[in-house]
Amino acid sequence: MDALLHSITPNFALPRRDSHPSYGLPGLNSPCRRSNSAHVAKKLLVSAATEKRGPDLDFNDPDWKSKFQKDFERRFNIPHITDIFPDAISIPSTFCLKMRTPVSEDFAGGYPSDEEWHGYINNNDRVLLKVINYTSPTSAGAVCIDPDCTWVEQWVHRAGPREKIYFRPEEVKAAILTCGGLCPGLNDVIRQIVVTLEIYGVKKIVGIPFGYRGFSDKELTEMPLSRKVVQNIHLSGGSLLGVSRGGPPISEIVDSMEERGINMLFVLGGNGTHAGANAIHNECRKRQMRVAVVGVPKTIDNDILLMDKTFGFDTAVEEAQRAINSAYIEAHSAYHGVGIVKLMGRSSGFIAMHASLASGQVDICLIPEVHFNLHGPHGILRHLKYLIETKGSAVICVAEGAGQDFLQKTNAKDASGNTVLGDIGVHIQQEIKKKFKGIGIPVDVKYIDPTYMIRCGRANASDGILCTVLGQNAGFYQVISQ
């Protein structure tokens, strides 16, 4: 769990994870394509991996591995406040850890040092990012750096409380904001950040309403936060602070922070939000303002490369199954019934895939990462005809970003700057009706779009724990300012 915080830094953009593990499940229609020659596949795999590694490397150089590791350490180095303010003075941590009662084994090698006793995290602690040693680029799920798939250790900083801190709690004014779309667990993270800051002794904690907009809209006032205020907010979905997309210019945001005396900023959001957090950090640094900015990564799609799981994903999958179950009942109860469910997933199909796997009722799962055809001998419609003839019904689960090449292109953008997607669910529904009418087979098609329903509920137990860890580690990170 300590590795979760290592994406919590405004110093780099959140890389997206656009590939899925391969599961041998015959019930799902996932086209499998094999290259005619192994070396072509190997070349493609290595090429795909090296695109993400950063600088060009000469694999004939005997020191390439060392150079790669140094570059990785440089790019993922977490900035410390002393990098900007070398004269910053540390004080002993105000976060107290309960000591356990010593036992005889503790004295086997002599009297334990203070470091062994109090349980703080050492600044030199690291966590191994990847634990699988792939021996071939053709292995399932392999991500290789060089053509021989050489094992290269990649280490990231360990999260947790440190012995020394660089902000005096009585001088801190911390602000929290949530941006982008809703996600189960936002209130859980807000709650734990507030609780952790209060444990350190921070008294001035405020919430900025409706994301970055709250810094510029004069009608929006900051919300005082305390343990009493946030005690039960995790029992509800949504965000106590409200959300919005976009925001004012960075200079205006930093001006507002300076005017309000904010020297700690917690930002909960996705790619665009973290780009804004990074810009705020750079502007504060340019102005020599002693401000710490921490980003807590949020995406319901579970597509951040360095994280095993993002908060809200488990809850979304759980809620998505309700729609799939409804589609199954509708399809199974009708003569030649077809149920279509469209789920969130602009660039990745993790929600659609996991909900399909968990339900066990989906016959066809369509995701953005895997190209498919609707028509033709290997098309979805031909397979659907087979399912109707053999099973009498079928259920299709499709991610919103799948099959966009079948739809008319648009230049329209949303508030976050993303291209507005066409409705692939409606398109598939229309194509099914047209196809089966043409071949004289009656079908009863039901289309369910629970897009926003799956993101509005409270976090389930699994996400609640993850949010607690993220919120607590964000508080640790901010106060130590490492």
Same domain, 436 and 305: no
Q: What is the Cβ-side half-sphere exposure of residue 58, based on CA atoms within 13 angstroms?
A: 4
Same domain, 465 and 374: no
How confident is the model at residue 11, as a pLDDT? 33
- Say if 111 falls within a structural domain: no
Please give the angle made by the CA atoms of 377, 380 and 384, to the nearest 5 degrees: 100
pLDDT higher than threshold 60 for residue 478: yes
Lowest mean pLDDT among 103-112, 189-198, 249-258, 260-269: 103-112
CATH number reported for the structural domain that contains residue 430 in this entry = 3.40.50.460
Percent of the chain with pLDDT over 90: 56
pLDDT higher than threshold 50 for residue 4: no
Same domain, 429 and 468: no
More confident residue, 16 or 196: 196
Catalytic residues: 301
Q: Residue 46: which H helix or E strand, with range?
A: helix 38-50
- Say if 125 falls within a structural domain: no
How confident is the model at residue 318, as a pLDDT? 95
How confident is the model at residue 479, as a pLDDT? 62
Same domain, 283 and 346: no
Lowest mean pLDDT among 2-16, 113-127, 276-290, 313-327: 2-16
- Say if 96 falls within a structural domain: no
How confident is the model at residue 413, as a pLDDT? 74
The number of distinct structural domains making up the chain is 2
- Chain centroid offset of residue 217 CA: 29
From 4, 11, 8, select the one nearest 297 (Cα to Cα): 8
Q: Residue 81: which H helix or E strand, with range?
A: helix 81-84
Summarize pLDDT for 61-118 with one digit per residue, the tens. 888 888 888 888 887 777 788 888 888 899 888 887 655 555 556 555 555 555 555 6
Q: Name the band, by pLDDT with cuts 50, 70 and 90, for residue 147.
A: confident
CB contact at 8 A, 60 and 148: no
Same domain, 251 and 207: yes
Would you state the structure tokens that stand for residue 228, as one six-digit string?
């009493």
Mean per-residue pLDDT over the chain, rounded: 83
- Say if 433 falls within a structural domain: yes
More confident residue, 290 or 478: 290
pLDDT higher than threshold 80 for residue 50: no
Q: Name the band, by pLDDT with cuts 50, 70 and 90, for residue 36.
A: very low
Instruction: State mean pLDDT over 245-263.
Output: 95
- Say if 354 falls within a structural domain: yes
How confident is the model at residue 281, as a pLDDT? 93
Q: Please state, in angstroms and as integers, the Cα–Cα distance from residue 202 to each residue in 98, 131, 422, following that order.
A: 20, 38, 47
How confident is the model at residue 368, as a pLDDT? 94
CATH number reported for the structural domain that contains residue 249 in this entry = 3.40.50.450
Same domain, 304 and 376: no
Same domain, 356 and 385: yes
- Say if 44 falls within a structural domain: no
Same domain, 292 and 329: no
Lowest mean pLDDT among 307-316, 350-359, 407-416: 407-416
pLDDT higher than threshold 90 for residue 339: yes
Same domain, 266 and 337: no
Element counts in the chain: helices (H) and strands (E): 13, 13
Same domain, 225 and 198: yes
Other C-beta atoms closer than 10 Å to the C-beta of 351 total 26
More confident residue, 81 or 437: 437
More confident residue, 13 or 178: 178
CB proximity list for 271: less than 8 A, separation 6 or greater: 13, 14, 16, 299
- Say if 45 falls within a structural domain: no
- Say if 149 falls within a structural domain: no
Report the relative pairing of strands 223-224 and 155-157 from DSSP bridges: unpaired
Percent of the chain with pLDDT over 70: 82
Same domain, 172 and 294: yes
- Chain centroid offset of residue 288 CA: 31
**Host domain of residue 411:** 313-455
CB contact at 8 A, 301 and 346: yes
How confident is the model at residue 373, as a pLDDT? 94
Q: CA-to-CA distance for 448 and 323, rounded, in angstroms?
A: 7
Instruction: State mean pLDDT over 266-289.
Output: 93
CB proximity list for 207: less than 8 A, separation 6 or greater: 175, 176, 177, 190, 222, 223, 224, 225, 240, 241
How confident is the model at residue 38, as a pLDDT? 36
Instruction: State mean pLDDT over 184-201.
Output: 95
Helices (H), 302-402: 313-333, 350-359, 380-390
How confident is the model at residue 108, as a pLDDT? 58
Same domain, 284 and 356: no
Q: Which amino acid, residue 98?
A: K
